[in-house]
Amino acid sequence: MLQRALGSGWGVLIPGVLLVGLGFVGLSVDVWRSLIALGLLLTGVMIWHRQLRHFVLLPSAFALISGMMMVLMSLKQMG
């Protein structure tokens, strides 16, 4: 049941809310880079794990949204 729920929009919404909350904390660019790397590594590990394969959207969305937050931070600093 939980696998089907996370397969839809919840798999993107949960990391999105978490990362937007972290965006208000004011993390440095190095921390955002490490979050992206962690999300990508977890995605690779979870793809090969038989039971965790169903939740692979969570770390991949985590990496994607972290990258988007880093781009927004760099645009904010430029302008």
Chain-centre distance for alpha carbon 25: 16
Structure tokens at 14: 């949960």
29-48 vs 57-78: helix axis angle to the nearest 10? 160
Question: Cβ atoms within 10 A of the Cβ of 16, count?
Answer: 17
Tens place of pLDDT for every residue, the chain, 79 residues?
555 555 567 788 888 899 889 888 988 889 999 999 999 999 999 999 888 888 888 899 999 999 998 998 888 888 7
User: Is 0.85 surpassed by the pTM of this model?
Assistant: no
